[in-house]
Amino acid sequence: MRKQGRFKISYNWTWTLASAVLALALWQISVTMFQLPPYVLPKPSAVWTALIAGLTASPSSRSSFWFQLADTLEGTLYGFLIAAALGISLAALMSEYRVVRRLLFPYVVWLQSLPKIAIAPLFVIWFGYATLSKVAMATTITLFPVLLNSLEGFAVVERDRLQLMKSLDASRWQTFWMIKLPSAMPFIFAGLNLGIVYALLGTLLAEFLGSQRGIGVVITQLESVSDTAGIFAILVVLAVVSYLLIAFMRALQQHFVFWSGSEQTVDVDVTPPRKRRRGRSGS
């Protein structure tokens, strides 16, 4: 059931395009009119040139965006996968065993309120300037949204479904695999959708602090030479990449949670509406 009075957050391509053209025009005009120096605000055309240069450079050269992006994505995906596996498993154990829940919950509360960014320098000391450091950072900040959403999902499983399993004298893990895990899927995906963006964030952060390769490294290098147009070009690339990551997660969600029309989750849908899959009626 769609909530009444809630406006739909979605967009159509015509308006998106119109809006982009308008913004670019205003940008170009204001740079020319106010004669802003290029290190403050470059012209859109300069950004475009930098973007093309970065994208067309030989993929094996360090000036290629692809070359750097591959490294960043490696950290992001490993971090995400580890955090997802760890987050869902820990949430499962915490929801199934009271001892585990009681032992771990203080840490969850503590670490969740700690600004994880502050741990980053420690990871550089422990894991050095390589991929491991990025993966550690991405995992750390991705873990909590996944863990907390999964916990919530396991906690709110409909009592009727549990009673049904009880009436069949089902074992703890039968109930978990057949009822609790699928019931929690909308929540788990809410966590994973946040998580994929967090993983990218964590990786970039590790790259800012010290790394040999990656998009974050390129940004710091461009910053040191005040190449603002280059930074803008990188931002465009990052926007596209994170959009694609989110869209991929959405597609996965549509596939696995096609049945959930009414379950309340906590994230906001910013991807374009997509054809609903089988079995999702509006009732």
Partner 1 sequence: MLTAVNERREAKNNSVARDPAVALLRTIDLTKSYITRSGDSLFALKATSLALEDGEFVSVVGPSGCGKSTLMMLIAGIIPRSEGEIIYRGHAVTRAQRGMGVVFQSPVLLPWSTVMENVLLPIRVLGGDRAAATARAEQLLSTVGLQGFEHKYPSELSGGMQQRVSIARSLIHDPGLLLMDEPFGALDALTRERMSLELQNIWLANRKTVFFITHSILEAVFLSDRVLVMSARPGCIIREFRIPFVRPRDFDLSTTKEFGAYVGEIRHLLGAKVDA
Query: Residue 172, interface with partner 1 (CB under 8 A)?
Result: no
Query: Residue 264, interface with partner 1 (CB under 8 A)?
Result: no
Nearest to 180 by CA among 190, 170, 193: 170
- Please, which residues have CB within 8 angstroms of residue 191's CB and are 6 or more apart in sequence? 87, 145, 146, 147, 148, 149, 150
Query: Residue 58, interface with partner 1 (CB under 8 A)?
Result: no
Q: What is the DSSP string of 9-68?
A: ----HHHHHHHHHHHHHHHHHHHHHHT--TTTS--HHHHHHHHHHHHHS-TTSTT-HHHH
Q: Report the site for partner 1 in 215-254 (rule: CB under 8 A).
A: none
Nearest to 214 by CA among 138, 114, 106: 138
CB-facing half-sphere around the CA of 222: CA atoms within 13 A: 22
Task: Provide the minimum distance between the beta carbon of 124 and partner 1 in the complex, in angstroms, as a whole number.
Answer: 43
Query: Which one, 50 or 257, has the nearer CB to partner 1?
Result: 257
- Please, which residues have CB within 8 angstroms of residue 158's CB and are 6 or more apart in sequence? 183
- 136 token code pair: 């550690």
Task: Provide the minimum distance between the beta carbon of 178 and partner 1 in the complex, in angstroms, as a whole number.
Answer: 7
The answer to whether 55 and 234 are in contact (CB under 8 A) is no
**Considering only residues 43, 101, 161, 250, which one is a binding residue for partner 1 as defined by CB under 8 A?**
161
Task: Provide the minimum distance between the beta carbon of 188 and partner 1 in the complex, in angstroms, as a whole number.
Answer: 13
Task: Provide the minimum distance between the beta carbon of 23 and partner 1 in the complex, in angstroms, as a whole number.
Answer: 42
**Considering only residues 79, 153, 182, 230, which one is a binding residue for partner 1 as defined by CB under 8 A?**
182
Query: Residue 169, interface with partner 1 (CB under 8 A)?
Result: yes
| CB atoms closer than 10 angstroms to residue 144 | 21
Query: Residue 70, interface with partner 1 (CB under 8 A)?
Result: no
Q: How far is CA 210 from CA 124, 138, 153, in A?
A: 7, 14, 37
**Which of these ranges, 73-81, 118-126, 154-162, 199-207, lies near partner 1 under the rule CB under 8 A?**
154-162
Size of the site for partner 1 (CB under 8 A): 26
Task: Provide the minimum distance between the beta carbon of 281 and partner 1 in the complex, in angstroms, as a whole number.
Answer: 5
Query: Residue 281, interface with partner 1 (CB under 8 A)?
Result: yes
For residues 227 and 192, give the distance between their C-alpha atoms in angstroms, rounded to a whole number. 34
Query: Residue 129, interface with partner 1 (CB under 8 A)?
Result: no
| CB atoms closer than 10 angstroms to residue 63 | 12
Query: Residue 275, interface with partner 1 (CB under 8 A)?
Result: no
**Considering only residues 117, 164, 197, 236, which one is a binding residue for partner 1 as defined by CB under 8 A?**
164
**Considering only residues 32, 45, 174, 264, which one is a binding residue for partner 1 as defined by CB under 8 A?**
174
Instruction: Using CB under 8 A, list all residues that contact partner 1.
Output: 158, 160-161, 163-170, 174, 178-179, 182, 185, 257-261, 278-281, 283
